[in-house]
A and B are shown apart, each in its own frame.
Chain A
Amino acid sequence: MRLKRLTLVILLTPLSLPLFADDFLGGSRPTCDPTIQTCLPEPEESQCDVTVCFMTVEAQRQYEIKHDCVFPSSSPCGEFDTNTQCCGRNPRTGKAAIIDKVFSTPGVLMPDFDSFTWANLKMACPNLRQNNAPPDDAWIMCRLNSRHNPNDPDDHYNVIEILNNGTSRPFCIDGCSTPPLTITLLYTLGYFLEPDRNNPSGYSEESSFLTACTGHDVCYQTCQKEQNECDREFLEKALNACRTIPRHRLSTRWMPTPMIVNTRNQCIRAANVMHRGLQIGGHSAFNKRRQQYCQCC
């Protein structure tokens, strides 16, 4: 009796194995000859490192041969127009992606990743460089006595100086960009001794923050430093401007309450409050400038 059962099991096993194997692999039931060897799917070819793009199809094929791998057909990489596109990386997924060289749509980095921030840009474009493209929707112009972009609510002041930067877009300098109402507030509360965005202490030409602000404009418009580095450099230069004011110089204010203040200290407070303003509200302008002045490769 036991021998009869064992014989039955041995005879049935080859018939049942393919079904078990198929269930295990999760694929559809094979329509082939039901033997173990022929029913198992072919081993998959190993996929290539998907963080690589190629400028030509031939270059991609050579890579596949050399590394014994293939790129999946769904890979976003492959041949692309190097005149207008770059091989970059989707900042959300980390996977290779073809990215527009110039970000001419305001606020847009990638069609499927629409937020343009410096952090995303750095991740997306390892070969960032200064933008040399002609004017577009993001960077309309740089003309003396005109704003960068008249439609941009962050651009309050006209360009006062244009600094050439080789073949790249020139630096547009608009001085210290503290918004008009903020100047009224800072002046009224006594942080600024004068309602002058470039020279809040009003003491002398040397105490003006214009040089510090020009350096800050250039820093934001250069695809290199972090915002906090640019802001810190502004503060150091502004403090140096304040140090030109004699140590014991006093100024009198009648509003909002009569005060006799130390002119140099008040200049330092103005520099500090402007620096704080950049830390609190400078991100938007910083990201806009990076979009205008950087290209992906």
Chain B
Amino acid sequence: MLLIFFRKMLNMKYTKTFLATTIFLLKINLAFGTNDGISLHQQDATEIVSISQFFSRQDQAYLVTATLNASNNSSLPKSSLRLIDFKSGKVVTELPVEQAPLVSPPGPQTSVLALPRLGPDIQWKIHQPDPKMTTLGREKNLPTYAVVTQTLQDGRNYYVFGMSQQNEPIVSVFGPELTLVAEHAYSDFSPSMITSALVLDHEILALISSENGSMLLKVSKDLQTISETRIDGFGASGVILPGGGFALTYVTSPDMVVTLERFDVNHKSRWKAPLYEMSKNGVSSGVKLAAVPSGIAFSGFNNDQLLIGSISIDGENKTIKLASKKGLEFDPSPSSHFIFTHHNSIHVWGLAMDAQTLKNIIYRADYE
């Protein structure tokens, strides 16, 4: 009976349509998968040079993809920045840029975008997009920076964090017109960089990372050192919690346990929780953090898999989900994946590689 049906199908004038539909459905299936409660979408990213995370002055969160359309003739390639709604994946606006940034800051950027420009060597600039997000707007050179890791807005001022050309942790403050208000490189900690920063009411917490470990540096808003505290781990980064206080994550050594520690409004440690032990048998990393109403969300990699999880604000309840797809090789570099949250849902965008073609893939993982 089935054979007769297929014979009939083959003779049907709609056979081509049927086959096309089948192939289309197969393709959809390949591009979309759900495992362990995480839905994983992937798309070709041949044109994408780098990705970053941007929060506009209107508090909209975007994934920013830097694209390069290289022509086959000798004309210059066309570059643009696409600001993408992290929930829907739709391009909200596209800004033409002289050069697609080769890499992007690994941390979130708020109100000002830091872009590296290739000339005789790398040169960082910050840009203040206009409110309608149609142009990159006002710009300012960052001649002392080798790496920009994060930008923040505090009141009318903008903060830039990273590593100086002398491999020192560095912070700069810019006024509303992007005039430099203050800049300080903390040479006592060289070589190291600020991997993450939190702006509180009266001070700034800068997390410094080096090959020797991490440090929590508390500085005033005019960048004078208030205190420095050693952190018992590597690659520290943090997030401010809406209910007050903040959370830090770091990786202990030598056992490589990814740890989360919560601090209250008085900067006292309330609890410390191990999230997972990094596997030595596959691609693994520490986590990036984001706040959710129910607690703290995090994303990273373990044993070749993408890891998404959350922990309650009291540290008692922890959920960790893993996702992977055959042939999809995740890039664990901190510039290649970003965590977004919407209410209690967690969305991770990142770059990966197709193991067969070695082509760039952009993926989106949603955990509701």
Residue positions of A touching B, CB distance < 8 A: 117-119, 122, 153-154, 156, 179-182, 184-186, 188-191, 226-228, 239, 250, 254-262, 265, 268-269, 272-273, 276-277, 279-281, 283
For the complex, is B146 an interface residue (Cβ under 8 Å from A)?
Answer: yes
Determine the distance from Cα of A186 to Cα of B37 in the docked complex, in whole angstroms.
Answer: 34
| Contact residue among B103, B253, B358 (Cβ-Cβ distance under 8 Å from A185) | B103
Residue from A117, A122, A189, A283 in contact with B334 in the complex, judged by beta carbons closer than 8 Å: A189
What residues of B have a CB within 8 angstroms of the CB of A117 in the complex?
74
**A276/B49 in contact, CB under 8 A:** yes
- The answer to whether A258 and B286 have CB atoms under 8 Å apart is yes
Closest to A269 in B: B331
Chain A residues whose CB sits within 8 angstroms of the CB of B335 once the complex forms = 189-191
Interface residues of B in 49-92 (CB under 8 A from A): 49, 68, 70-77, 79
Would A190 and B284 count as touching, CB distance under 8 A?
no
A181 contact set on B, CB distance < 8 A: 121-122, 146, 165
Given contacts A180-B121, A226-B73, A281-B118, 6 further A-B contacts (CB under 8 A): A184-B165, A250-B282, A256-B149, A262-B283, A265-B353, A269-B333
Q: Is B93 an interface residue (CB 8 A)?
A: no
Given contacts A255-B211, A256-B106, A279-B77, contact A261 B122 (CB under 8 A): no
User: Scoring B residues 261 to 293 as 1 if CB is less than 8 Å from chain A, else 0, what string do you get?
Assistant: 000000000000000001111111110000000
B329: Cβ under 8 A from any A Cβ: yes
- CB within 8 Å for A189 and B103 given contacts A119-B74, A181-B165: yes
Q: Name the contact of A254 in the complex, choosing from B99, B146, B211, B279 (C-beta under 8 A).
A: B211
Verify A259–B333 contact, CB threshold 8 A: yes
Check if B360 is an interface residue, CB within 8 A of chain A: yes
Q: How far is the CA of A35 from the CA of B165 in the complex (A)?
A: 86
Q: How far is the CA of A239 from the CA of B165 in the complex (A)?
A: 30
CA distance A30 to B195 in the complex (A): 86
> Does A257 contact B76, Cβ atoms closer than 8 Å?
no
A228 and B70 in contact (CB under 8 A), knowing A184-B167, A258-B286, A273-B103?
yes
Interface residues of B in 100-124 (CB under 8 A from A): 100, 102-103, 106, 116, 118-122
CB distance from B145 to the nearest CB of A (A): 9
Question: Is the Cβ of B210 less than 8 Å from the Cβ of A255?
Answer: yes
Pick from A122, A257, A280: contact of B209, CB below 8 A: A257
Mark contacts of B227-258 with chain A using CB atoms, 8 A cut-off: 1 yes-contact digit, 0 otherwise: 00000001101000000000000010100100
